[in-house]
Structure 1
Amino acid sequence: MNSEALVSIIMPCYNSSAFIEEAIKSVQQQTYKNWELWVIDDFSKDHTKERVENLMILDKRINLLNNTSNLGTGAARNKGIEAANGTYIAFLDADDLWHANKLQLQLDFMQTHDLVVTFSSYKLISENGEETGEKVQALAVLTYQKLLKSNYIGNLTGIYNAHKLGKVYAPLLRKRQDWALWLSILKQIGETKGMDEVLASYRIRNDSISQNKLALLNYNFLIYYRFLDQGLFRSLNSMRIFLWEHFFIKKQQKMPLDH
């Protein structure tokens, strides 16, 4: 892999003081060293900013942007994307973790297969960081039509080539805007490949939106209705397909970690 290729890592955060140091350290431990980290604090009320500032003193690759009001994750990510200088743009939320070889393996994979975007499998950990023994398996091939049915890209594993695609931004929705971003990219390129390797850890938070099934349905509907502008009846049909895909097909991705 070309050692000159800079990777810009986008990390939105809000009241993340309990987890953000560990997330940033997982970036610092990458075997691939040519990266910059953009932390975007979305008007936190805890000590998130102070924890980031302490790490910035010792590592000039870490940058902090501050929102003066709480704008939501989509707006925070977009602020980081706008500031990014890298050939590649990758994402990591402030409570998730990367494995040390994540960037190196993924960039090599992209170069080998001539890809402008890719993603990988990831494992699940509890809120306190304990192993659950489960992983979410990445699809070997992902098409735009498949992604329309449900989000098959774990955002903590996604990376795209901004020099080839241009910078792709998320819509200003409070939730599920990561899915919309990957939909925008897959609509351009048609399909891409996922990596079998587990390269990250997703933290299951007790208060996570993904635990609230009713809210999940509402935000997914907004992707079809507002972002994709499908109209009411087509959006309702897309939600019917989504429900089948999400609860009967996609769940097959979750499997024992040692599988």
Structure 2
Amino acid sequence: MSKAELVTVVVPTYDRPKLLRRAVQTVAEQTYDRIELVIVDDCSPVPASDVLSEFDPSLEAVTIVRHDANRGANVARNTGLHKARGEYVAFLDDDDCWDERKIEKQANAFGRAPESVGVVYTGVEHVDENMQTNAVLTPQVEGAVTKRLLYGNFLETFSVAMIERELCERVGGLDERFPSWQDWEFFLRLSLWCRFLAVPEPLVVRHNRPNGQLSHDYDRKTEVTAPLFREVVRPIAAELDDIDWTTVDASLEYHLGRAAMRNGRYSAARRHFGRAIRQHPLEVPYYVYLVAAFGGKRTHRPIQRIKRRLVRYGQ
């Protein structure tokens, strides 16, 4: 990838004016020369154009598109894709931030990569509401990653990825039916067409706010997301060698159990972890979280702290 190629940054937003200004500022501060910014306002009460009226980033182009009704984040991302002119697309959630070198480092990685690479992603630093770092995730997975993605979204968020725009179009864009796990499902479909490459640095800051993210909505995960995800994933798993569907389904139950715990639904969490163990009894973390779910908040919080330490040291 030469430095002359255009990168389109797509920022979907809804009713978070302060966070939007912060996110856009980190786009404006990028060290890469050619960036166009497409902001998709999903019918915010205060239009994004008003929020950014005094903001004049030195980018190649800035476009603000406003939906006439709230249609959801994936629809907003697809709107941004339709407007994109760049060779590559980078999504940025409005509550996340970028290191100023993110796009440049990803562009350089694409320039060194073989043609089979269609996604370059970075690591993530998680910070809490007090701006304290509670986890730093450094990428370790590269190449053909479909099997790995069947068991979990190791990229974590749209905000880490730079993707070939033509590849986004080839897979049909984002599936607008998903209220959560949208990024996981999208990355999985992309992985069927290309290889992934990692920039092993935490160049995205993800702000974890209690109950502030769709990923924390347990009911929608169980009623809508999980059935849809199984519908999409099962045919993919069936086409791959050495994949046992029960182990994949056990992993989904584990993720649902984690979502239940984050929402304080400890009885539901125990059911999910129990199902995961019945399907895949050799996976130690399932037992750890099942025990934690019996203790409610008293054991959930210590488990979270232990997990963060393990993640921080790459375990």
Flag whether TM exceeds 0.5 (same fold). yes
Seq. identity, %: 20
Shift, 1:155, TM fit = 1.3
**Alpha-carbon displacement from aligned partner over 1:13-37 (angstroms, at most 9, x marks no partner):** 0001121111001001000020111
Aligned to 1:92: 92
Q: Distance in 1 between matches of 2:83 and 2:313?
A: 36
Read off the aligned partner of 1:132 and give its amino acid letter.
T
Question: Which residue number in structure 2 is paired with residue 55 of structure 1?
Answer: 55
Gaps of 5+ in 2: 236-243, 259-284, 287-306
Question: RMSD of the alignment, in Å?
Answer: 3.1
| Letter of the structure 1 residue corresponding to residue 118 of structure 2 | V
Cα distance change on mapping 1:258 and 1:72 into 2, 3 Å: same
2:276 corresponding residue in structure 1: none
Higher relative contact order at CA 8 Å, sep ≥6: structure 1 or structure 2? 1
1:185 aligns to 2:185 (yes or no):
no
- Structure (1/2) with the larger helix percentage: 2
Trace 1:1-259 onto structure 2 (pairs within 5 A): 2-46=2-46, 48-56=48-56, 61-114=61-114, 115-127=117-129, 130-141=131-142, 143-153=145-155, 154-163=157-166, 166=169, 168=171, 169-172=173-176, 173-189=178-194, 191-206=195-210, 207-218=212-223, 220-228=225-233, 238-244=248-254, 248=285, 255-256=311-312
The residue type equivalent to 1:242 in the other structure is L
Distance 1:123 1:31 in 2: 20
Judged with a 3 Å threshold, the aligned counterparts in structure 2 of structure 1 residues 161 and 235 are, in CA distance, closer, same or farther, namely same
What 5-or-longer segments of structure 1 have no aligned partner?
none
User: Of Structure 1 and Structure 2, which has the larger fraction of its residues in strand?
Assistant: 1
Shift of 1:210: 2.9
Q: TM-score if structure 2 supplies the norm length?
A: 0.71
Larger C-alpha radius of gyration, 1 or 2?
2
- Mapped to 1, the partners of 2:95 and 2:154 lie a distance apart of 20
**Are the counterparts in 2 of residues 134 and 257 from structure 1 also a CA contact under 8 Å?**
no
**Matched positions, count:** 254
3-state SS of paired residue (2:159): coil
- The 1:13–1:238 alpha-carbon spacing in structure 2 relative to 1, beyond 3 Å, is same
Shift of 1:163: 4.1
Counterpart-to-counterpart distance in 1, 2:309 and 2:252: 15
3-state SS in 1 of match to 2:70: coil
Alignment CA distance shift 1:51-1:203 (3 Å): same
Q: Aligned partner of 1:9: which letter?
A: V
Cα distance change of structure 1 residues 171 and 56 upon mapping to structure 2, 3 Å threshold: farther
Cα drift, residue 214 of structure 1: 4.8
Write out per-residue CA displacement over residues 188-219 of structure 1, whole angstroms, 9 at most, x where no aligned residue: 12x42222111110111222233344544455
